[in-house]
Structure 1
């Protein structure tokens, strides 16, 4: 007759056997509760299911790519008009004209930006007829020509005759350009007009003369076709006097003289830009 001490050992053996059977049952040949046939069927199902999903994904991408153009975005309704941006890329500029280190970063930004407008770079581009759109037709995929825009056109704001761009005199130069929009052909004669809010007596000088964006730089054909394209620039130099120093000046520049929008209250940079300048002495 077995003693009471043997009973716990038997119970432990039964528990161990039950746990092992849940992984692999040698009597039924089940692994994790399924036979080899059951595992084969469920794996086949998931294989077919995920292969179908992958096929649908690839087909959807292929159909989408077939509707796209390699050179022109299909939908451009959200950007019908260009924004206006400035260089240096500072909407709140403050510096002491007698301390070069305070405006050194502004000068560096302008000089770096204007490298693409150097004589050596622009000589590779085409001399175009001013006042006319530069429409270019030809085979699909052929690279488009670019009209020359030399930095010397910016005169005293070119950095060639005055390497400080007027900052040392307290007459800073600000460069303005429109954002690129493929196919844009502005009507009229677009030009930049800047005004100083609450300081109507401030004189401003524009380069090129009149602050105009010539039509010959339009249309733009996109980065793939117009690889050498650079936007036309307008420089405005603030002709500040001693009475204007140590005062925060709010300047607003707008694109005028064309059908380009410049009064959308939902987008403060659409056809216009506002920035502040404080020159100390």
Structure 2
């Protein structure tokens, strides 16, 4: 049988448990009085407001050191990579079937819309052979030099809307990635080679596949709102003996101080793609 003391303890236990939450005799809630709760809540309110203020002040000071147009650090990518259009590193099509090459033609046509005369009217005719530098007092706005798609000649899609794909002599477009402030030295141009015994004849547009200096430097998206990258078109003059073979084509930027032989980055100043024309 339980003793009288055990029965008394069991009767008091519910009251003790309730008192730990709220004690009506002392007015304590969870072991603290109202004034104690008010003081501790005031402390945390002031503490977290101080932390929020310090964070806001730090962010404000940091933003004052940044430029909306130019990144603060630009030393990680000293040379641009090469990009290709149509946007594929594996081009394969049947020259006798328009449906097989229509995706490449549409990709090229869509990409060249920015280079139409109607889009280039707002840009400026610049002086070839010289960098286009920001003028004094020009502020945030920088003039963009015109690049008309007609400069791409037979690869412009104007005289030949199929870009040579229907005749098995396709065009590809090459451009350098944008790097703010880049001023390539020398006279950069594109040179492509096909990895096979017998060389394949190619035509470059504009003349000699050159990137004119007047399109450099690039001043950023805000300052150069209408800027378009200069392009080089390569027309691959395949013959019948080249059909039904997968050929690897490597294109590089030569004639300048831009890097094109870094084994750690195969797209730095160069690009390799595969192309196969089925007869």
Please, what TM-score do these two structures have when normalized by structure 1? 0.93
Alignment-derived partner of residue 240 in structure 1: 238
Measure how far apart 1:263 and its partner are.
Answer: 0.8
Q: Secondary structure of 1:258's partner? A: coil
Q: Conserved in 2, the CA contact under 8 Å of 1:199 and 1:249?
A: no
| C-alpha displacement of 1:142 | 3.4
Q: After TM superposition, list the pairs within 5 Å mapping 1:74-89 onto structure 2.
A: 74-89=72-87
Equivalent position of 1:51 in the other structure: 49
- Let me know the Cα RMSD of the aligned residues: 2.0
Extract structure 1 runs of 4+ deviating beyond 2 A: 7-20, 138-142
Deviation readout 1:59-97 (Å, 9 max, x if unpaired) = 221121121122211100002111111111101111111
Q: Distance in 2 between matches of 1:225 and 1:270?
A: 25
Match of 1:116 in 2: 114
CA contact (8 A) 2:140 2:222 kept: no
Q: How does 1:98-113 map to 2 (within 5 A)?
A: 98-113=96-111
Residue equivalent to 1:32 = 30
Distance 2:171 2:197 in 1: 18
Shift of residue 199 of structure 1? Answer: 4.4
Q: Which runs of 5+ in 2 are unaligned?
A: none
SS at match of 2:112: helix
Distance 1:194 1:9 in 2: 98
User: Structure 2 length normalisation: TM-score?
Assistant: 0.94
**Distance of 1:66 and 1:207 partners within structure 2:** 45
Tell whether the 8 Å contact from 2:101 to 2:165 is kept in structure 1 after alignment.
yes
State the distance in 2 between where 1:102 and 1:11 align: 90
Structure 1: any 5+ residue segments left out of the alignment?
Answer: none
Structure 2 CA distance for aligned equivalents of residues 184 and 46 of structure 1? 51
Is residue 87–residue 110 contact of structure 1 (8 Å, CA) maintained in 2?
A: yes
Q: What is the count of residue pairs matched by the alignment?
A: 278
